[in-house]
Structure 1
Amino acid sequence: MTFQCELTDTNGVRQVSLSGRLDSATSGDFEKHLQTLFESSGARALMDFSSLDYISSAGLRVVLMAAKRAKQAQGRLVLCGLQPHVKDVFEISGFLKILTVADDPVSALSHLNA
């Protein structure tokens, strides 16, 4: 299965929809997609993982880098729709303690607009 990343803008929030497998073979392209995500100060973004089947440590690294860029830009990043097996990877890595995670895109938007 291939990896796909779709970026859309909705009411000032960048939405990143992920599908497929995010691993060492696809994380480089994903990182390139995220280059402009937090260029402006105070940018807000949500990453929707509801169609992501797999994430490796290489994928986790890119998500962590995006979170650091958000913090540096005084922006906000919320993850949502983590499938149980993907959520387990985030849990084991300790990322759930340092990232904001919502159940679905509606909840994620609520976090971003609060």
Structure 2
Amino acid sequence: MSLSHEIRRRDDVVEIVLSGRIDRDAAAALEEAGIAASEGPPASMLLDFSGVDYINSTGIALIVALLARARAQRIAVRATGLTEHYRHIFDITRLSDFIEIVQPTPS
């Protein structure tokens, strides 16, 4: 399953809800999400990984590129919905040093 996304705006937060696999085939979807999220720069971006079932090393690199673009625009980035496995990956790759990991908010 390729990556799909939905963009939700709430006040000054852009939430990007991701579903599927984050691998080399996800480049276009993440690029599109990043561009859409940066229109009229929000104060912060929330990446929701609840629907993501796979991230490989290329996917991590794509997330780093999205983070770099956001940081260049002074947009704070948070992540939610990561499994324990991917939280650990974010820790060992040091992504968690640059992306605040938060608990999912109740619907």
What residue is the counterpart of 2:90 in the other structure?
90
Cα distance in 1 for partners of 2:62, 2:54 equals 14
Cα distance in 2 for partners of 1:42, 1:14 equals 6
What residue is the counterpart of 1:112 in the other structure?
none
When normalised by structure 1's length, the TM-score is 0.77
Q: Structure 1: give runs of 5+ residues left out of the alignment.
A: 107-114
What residue is the counterpart of 1:45 in the other structure?
45
Give the secondary structure class of the aligned counterpart of 1:37: helix
When normalised by structure 2's length, the TM-score is 0.81
Give the secondary structure class of the aligned counterpart of 2:29: helix
Kindly state the Cα deviation for residue 42 of structure 1 after the two structures are TM-superposed: 5.2
* Equivalenced residues, count: 106
Kindly state the Cα deviation for residue 47 of structure 1 after the two structures are TM-superposed: 0.5
What residue is the counterpart of 1:99 in the other structure?
99
Per-residue CA deviations over 1:65-107 (Å, capped at 9, x if unaligned) read: 222222222221111111122223222322122321112246x
Identity of aligned residues (%): 25
Q: Structure 2: give runs of 5+ residues left out of the alignment.
A: none
Residue 102 of structure 2 is aligned to residue 79 of structure 1: no
> Pairwise mapping of residues 1-114 of structure 1 onto structure 2 (< 5 A)?
1-41=1-41, 43-105=43-105
Cα distance in 2 for partners of 1:42, 1:18 equals 18
Cα distance in 2 for partners of 1:80, 1:27 equals 20
